[in-house]
Amino acid sequence: MTGFRTLLHKEVLRFWKVIWQTVAAPVLTALLYLLIFFHVLEGHVQVYPGVSYTAFLMPGLIMMAVLQNAFANGSSSLIQSKITGNLVFVLLAPLSYLEFFLAYLVAAMLRGLLVGTGVAAVGLLFADLPVAHFGWVLAFALASSAAFASVGIVAGIWADKFDHLAGVQNFVIMPLTFLSGVFYSIHSLPAFWQSVSHFNPVFYMIDGFRYGFFGQADTSPWLGLAVVAPSALVLGLLTLLLLRRGYKLRH
């Protein structure tokens, strides 16, 4: 346990020491989105009856921040440690694969949730956000951040340079999150894109999360959970398997 706790502590301290970059910056980005959408669209668009557009937007923005930062933490920490070579200190230690995995996972989730909380806090300056079912909010926040934390760890292990990570960020993470209903209800999409959205796991993460706040969403939260929780589990097991294999870490 001490090994896990120490590695977790180190990973948390790593982003905490540069909190302006790792937490404040993404909160500021979300604030800019809110400012723009609040002034441009507020009053013109209503997705759900009785929910202002800004309020509608907030769960999506929060979840997007959670996902992107959960991904960013593990991936950037690992690639930095690989490139500077100091990952060797962890590799030389008698940590089990599970301890290694859980430490990076929990640190990444913490950063994601911290940024998400920050986005929620600035969002409250623009609109009230009801919480219909806190249990759903929490369940989707945890399962979704865990899934993306795992993806970040795998990406960090796989990437040989920062360019590779930027590629994953730009060609996988960004499209998945933007095309998932952060800014709209998928019911406003043409039928074809609606059905495509149903194959995007991020859609369920945002939709289920939104359900937790408004008690209404595009699909049932149970369906969402049935997609998101197994995704997180499979991604976690895959990460563990790669660590066990020593993929890219032990020649």
Partner 1 sequence: MPSPAVRVRGLEKHYGALCALDGIDLDIGEGEFFALLGPNGAGKTTLISILAGLVRPTAGFAQVLGHDVQADYRQVRRLLGVVPQELVFDPFFTVRETLEFQSGYFGLARNEDWIDALLHHLGLADKADSNMRRLSGGMKRRVLVAQALVHKPPVIVLDEPTAGVDVELRQSLWAFIRDLNRQGHTILLTTHYLEEAETLCQRVAMLKAGRIVALDRTDNLLRSCGERHLRLRLAAADLPESLATRLVGRKGDEFILSLPDLDDLEPTLAALRMAGATVLDMGLDQPDLEDIFVRVMGQGTPTPSPSPARGRGALLESLSRPEGKR
Interacting residues with partner 1 (CB under 8 A): 2-3, 5-7, 9-10, 13-14, 17-18, 81, 84-86, 88-96, 246, 250-251
- Judged by beta carbon, residue 81 or residue 216, the one nearer partner 1 is 81
Residue spans of alpha helices (H) in the chain? 2-16, 19, 25-41, 53-84, 87-91, 97-123, 134-158, 162-168, 174-178, 191-197, 201-214, 221-245
- Judged by beta carbon, residue 85 or residue 135, the one nearer partner 1 is 85
Least Cβ distance, residue 11 to partner 1 (angstroms): 10
Report the interhelical angle of 134-158 vs 201-214 (nearest 10°): 150
Least Cβ distance, residue 3 to partner 1 (angstroms): 5
Least Cβ distance, residue 189 to partner 1 (angstroms): 44
Cα gap 12→24, rounded to integer Å: 15
- Judged by beta carbon, residue 99 or residue 207, the one nearer partner 1 is 99
Contacts of 209 (CB under 8 A, 6+ apart): 59, 62, 63, 136, 137, 140, 141, 144
Task: Note whether 63 and 209 are within 8 A (CB).
Answer: yes
- Judged by beta carbon, residue 80 or residue 194, the one nearer partner 1 is 80
Alpha carbon 122 to its chain centroid, in Å, reads 18
- Judged by beta carbon, residue 97 or residue 158, the one nearer partner 1 is 97
Least Cβ distance, residue 245 to partner 1 (angstroms): 10
Least Cβ distance, residue 110 to partner 1 (angstroms): 16
